[in-house]
């Protein structure tokens, strides 16, 4: 089988790494929607981005900031999926086998996200203040000694090189894990779990480092005077929280359409709810730790970040973030019954995905606007990018079995119960 795979056209392998397709999968794990169901979200997403392009022509800077927020939301979602898959393989988790194919389908979107990030290359000057050459010229009246001291890191060639490296690494690891998982559906090779763990062992280290630095590059450098060594953990916490919400929500949608019946159970939803609740708390802990340390040190170059978000009306948005991203989900999700009652859990999954986007909005927009402002482009770019990524996920799910059929722990996952 492996020789047959190697003989296939590389382009064909990229589209469909290995068989079987969804039509050949076990009937209970088959994707039963129309094979073109993925075209609907992609079509809606493309239409929203076409509308957004009008904003590019009329309000370029607003477009680039709005696009960045929507794009980094989708990137963080895919990163959360990659972390989830890596950790499940590394820990040999059993409970998650029946839901693992959803984040596996999501991590296939890294090449798509790299392509979707191309418009941002035209807006580097609008987004990142440190791209202005006069800031580094001592003879210029705009010379900024703080930013000039960071020139060895904050320069366009190095920034673009890092971004390319991030996506190449994430795509390579994702491709490796995804193709191994799909190949397992074909031949059930008993060596595959060991290969997945081996890849996850070194992959988790590299993904952790690059995730932290991507948070520094794409978000923290929007305000180049500010710095926080804990920001990478903050970025990870929100990403991992979001994949729990996304995975549970997609599983619910598939079950509503008649798929995965008796496969993903209340027990699995409860565990996804546990992780969702846990990382809501972890995100809040990291956010508070960052704030407390900066408040305690009281260094002007650090406190400026919070000053921008605690005055001129942004303090209301900061309060909304605290209440809606932490207090409300904490109160709702703390009970066992809420994690097992699908309507409540489903609502909170949608809620937390929206709040995850709002978190990035809160991080980025005070750099552009002194006073709070919500623009139609904020909505259209987010809907457009998320629609395309969602369509990509549905496409991958439609091509193969919805669960890893020959995973040695599938039976234990199907029989999983919470003690």
> Sign of the C-alpha dihedral, residues 146, 297, 320, 307?
negative
Rounded distance between C-alpha atoms, residue 159 and residue 145, angstroms: 20
How high does pLDDT run on average in the chain? 91
Rounded distance between C-alpha atoms, residue 339 and residue 405, angstroms: 26
Residue 12: what pLDDT?
A: 42
Residue 8: what pLDDT?
A: 41
pLDDT digits (tens, 9 = 90+) for 215-268: 999 999 999 999 899 999 999 999 999 999 999 999 999 999 889 988 999 999
Ordered by start, the domain boundaries in the chain are 50-414
Residue 3: pLDDT above 50? no
The whole-model pTM stands at 0.92
Residue 28: what pLDDT?
A: 66
Residue 1: pLDDT above 70? no
Residue with tokens 């370029």: 60
Residue 9: pLDDT above 80? no
Residues whose CB is less than 8 angstroms from the CB of residue 160 and which lie 6 or more positions away in sequence, other chains included: 121
> Sign of the C-alpha dihedral, residues 354, 359, 362, 364?
negative
Residue 26: what pLDDT?
A: 61
Residue 24: what pLDDT?
A: 47
Mean pLDDT of 201-215: 97
Residue 359: pLDDT above 90? yes
Mean pLDDT of 366-378: 93
Residue 27: what pLDDT?
A: 60
Residue 18: what pLDDT?
A: 47
Residue 387: what pLDDT?
A: 96
- Tokens standing for residue 193: 């779990």
Rounded distance between C-alpha atoms, residue 277 and residue 334, angstroms: 7
Rounded distance between C-alpha atoms, residue 124 and residue 389, angstroms: 23
Confidence of residue 6 (pLDDT cuts 50, 70, 90): very low
Residue 418: what pLDDT?
A: 86
pLDDT digits (tens, 9 = 90+) for 10-42: 344 344 444 445 444 566 688 877 767 889 999
pLDDT digits (tens, 9 = 90+) for 132-186: 988 888 988 889 898 999 999 999 999 999 999 999 999 999 999 999 999 998 8
Residue 364: what pLDDT?
A: 97
Confidence of residue 2 (pLDDT cuts 50, 70, 90): very low
What count of other Cβ atoms lies within 10 Å of the Cβ of residue 180?
Answer: 21
Mean pLDDT of 359-383: 95
pLDDT digits (tens, 9 = 90+) for 285-319: 999 999 999 998 888 878 889 999 999 999 999 99
Cβ proximity of 402 and 350 under 8 Å: no
């Amino acid at each position: 089988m492996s020789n047959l795979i190697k003989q296939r056209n590389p382009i064909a392998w990229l589209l469909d790494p290995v068989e079987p397709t969804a039509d050949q999968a076990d009937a209970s794990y088959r994707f039963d929607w129309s094979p073109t169901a993925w075209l609907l979200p992609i079509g809606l997403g493309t239409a929203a981005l076409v509308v957004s392009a009008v904003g590019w022509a009329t309000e370029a800077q607003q477009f680039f900031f709005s696009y960045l927020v929507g794009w980094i939301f989708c990137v963080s979602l895919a990163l959360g999926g990659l972390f989830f898959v890596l950790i499940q393989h590394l820990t040999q988790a059993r409970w998650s086998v029946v839901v693992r194919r959803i984040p596996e389908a999501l991590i296939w979107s890294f090449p798509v996200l790299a392509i979707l990030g191309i418009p941002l290359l035209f807006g580097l000057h609008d987004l990142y203040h440190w791209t202005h050459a006069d800031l580094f010229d001592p003879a210029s009246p705009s010379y900024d000694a703080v930013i000039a001291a960071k020139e060895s890191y904050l320069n366009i060639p190095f920034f673009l090189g890092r971004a390319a490296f991030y996506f190449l690494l994430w795509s390579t690891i994702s491709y490796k894990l995804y193709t191994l998982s799909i190949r397992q559906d074909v031949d059930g090779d008993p060596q595959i779990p060991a290969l997945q763990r081996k890849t996850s062992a070194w992959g988790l280290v590299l993904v952790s480092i690059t995730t932290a630095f991507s948070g520094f590059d794409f978000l923290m450098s929007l305000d180049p005077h500010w710095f926080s060594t804990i920001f990478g953990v903050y970025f990870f916490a929100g990403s991992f929280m979001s994949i729990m919400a996304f995975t549970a929500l997609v599983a619910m949608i598939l079950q509503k359409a008649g798929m995965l019946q008796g496969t993903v159970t209340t027990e699995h939803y409860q565990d996804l709810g546990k992780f969702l609740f846990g990382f809501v708390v972890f995100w809040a802990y990291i956010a508070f730790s960052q704030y407390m340390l900066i408040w305690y040190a009281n260094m002007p170059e650090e406190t400026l970040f919070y000053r921008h978000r605690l005055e001129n009306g942004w303090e209301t948005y900061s309060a909304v973030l605290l209440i809606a991203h932490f207090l409300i989900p904490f109160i709702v999700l703390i009970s066992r019954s809420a994690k097992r009652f699908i309507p409540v859990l489903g609502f909170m999954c949608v809620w937390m995905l929206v709040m995850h986007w709002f978190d990035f909005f809160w991080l980025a927009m005070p750099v552009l606007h002194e006073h709070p402002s919500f623009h139609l482009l904020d909505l259209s770019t987010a809907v457009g990018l998320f629609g395309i990524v969602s369509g990509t996920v549905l496409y991958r799910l439609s091509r193969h079995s919805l669960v890893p059929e020959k995973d040695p722990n599938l039976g234990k996952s199907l029989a999983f119960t919470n003690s």
